Amino acid sequence: MSQDPLGHLLRGATMRAAIISDWWYGEEAVVKGIETLRRGATALDAVEEAIKVVEDDPRVDSVGTGAIPNAEGEIELDASIMDGATLRAGAVAALKRVRYPISVARKVMELTPHVFIVGEGAVKFARAVGFEDYEPRTMESLGRYRVLRRKLEDIASRSSDPKVVESWKMDFDRDLGFEMDSIKLSSCLQLMVEKGLVKHHETVGVVAVDRCGNFAAGTSTSGLAMKLPGRVGDSPIIGSGTYADNRSGGASATGVGEVIMRHCLAKEVCNLMESGASAQIACERAVRRILLSERNPYQVAVISLDRHGEPGAASTADRVQAGFTFPYAFMHEEMTKPLVENAPIISQ
């Protein structure tokens, strides 16, 4: 009997290498990724290297270095990566003081029998496998944190809702962070999102296929700015934020994690592609299904590559940001520069 029950379905076949990434920084990510693929590297290598470019970019305030801290002034990082050839995956969440969370997630996949390690355990694992202590906060990110905090105080002071005003009676710890009841903080976070003061999207997602026809996907984020400590969104959740399977392709989601997790968006796109839908049709259908079942959903989006290496992307509108667009970048190894486009905005 074969020792590889998925065998012929999961083995890759020779094809043109390609890669897709999201948001305004996706262009730099795919350039790095395609360089990696052109050297004959694997899709996993390309995904990791592409995401590391964004994790290292202090201009991106929702991923890695330079991200806006959580409510206590610390940056907690989440990441996941998945190998479509084997269906193996690795993920970390609430990871502190590490430069490349996507690389730690890959080590979880390759060196342990686990899929997901979180919090202090993730930090200990990272140190054990060679990741040095690293401070991802920058002067700029701390400045943005303080500005955001002042804006929130101003909103609270002018609010006619007594519960909101009461929520902001807090003790500030030195010049960073604060302590307050978790339930009150949660309600304030909701207010922040509704007022459009907190960007609730902009992770970095990457999907790649290599010359052997093997797919990989990965996602990395610092999560919602000013989030509750320990809050985890969809990005490190296999099936919600990230999924890859050679039988279908791969997908990475971005947006409001609480909505995405309820619908396992990345896996839903892959299911549709396995059933024969193109990457573009699968993304649009999956996003539309969320709109049909959610009341007033916040922004969610997804990118994908189907089993032919063709790209897809779709997004809902952002109800608090006028003129919202969801840009993505795609490149295959025969292209001289990335294709950068805005994904279709799906409405009910």
Domains, the chain, with CATH or none: 11-135+200-335 (3.60.20.30)
At 173 the pLDDT is 44
At 71 the pLDDT is 79
Instruction: Compute the Cα dihedral for 144, 149, 152, 153 and give only its sign.
Output: negative
Tens of each residue's pLDDT in the chain, 348 residues = 334 444 444 454 578 999 999 999 999 999 999 999 999 999 999 999 999 999 999 999 899 999 988 878 899 999 999 999 999 999 999 999 999 999 999 999 999 999 999 999 999 999 999 999 999 999 999 998 888 777 766 766 666 555 555 555 444 444 444 455 455 555 566 666 666 555 556 799 999 999 999 999 999 999 988 788 899 999 999 999 999 999 999 999 999 898 999 999 999 999 999 999 999 999 999 999 999 988 766 789 999 999 999 999 999 987 666 688 999 999 999 999 999 999 999 987
Contact residues for 75 (Cβ-Cβ < 8 A; gap 6+) = 67, 68, 69, 96, 136, 137, 141, 222
pTM for the whole thing? 0.88
How buried is residue 258: exposed, middle or buried, by Cβ count under 10 Å (0-12/13-18/19+)?
Answer: middle
How buried is residue 282: exposed, middle or buried, by Cβ count under 10 Å (0-12/13-18/19+)?
Answer: buried
What single-letter DSSP state applies at residue 325? -
DSSP result, 109-138:
HHHSS-SEEEHHHHHHHHHHTTPPP-----
At 26 the pLDDT is 94
Task: Look up tokens 């303080």; give the residue.
Answer: 146
Output the CA–CA distances (angstroms, integers) from residue 316 to 3, 7, 136, 256, 292, in the order listed: 43, 37, 31, 11, 11
Helix or strand run (H / E) with residue 27: helix 26-38
Q: 264 near 240, Cβ under 8 Å? A: yes
At 164 the pLDDT is 55
Active site positions, annotated:
203
Task: Look up tokens 């292209």; give the residue.
Answer: 335
* Token representation of residue 232: 């985890």
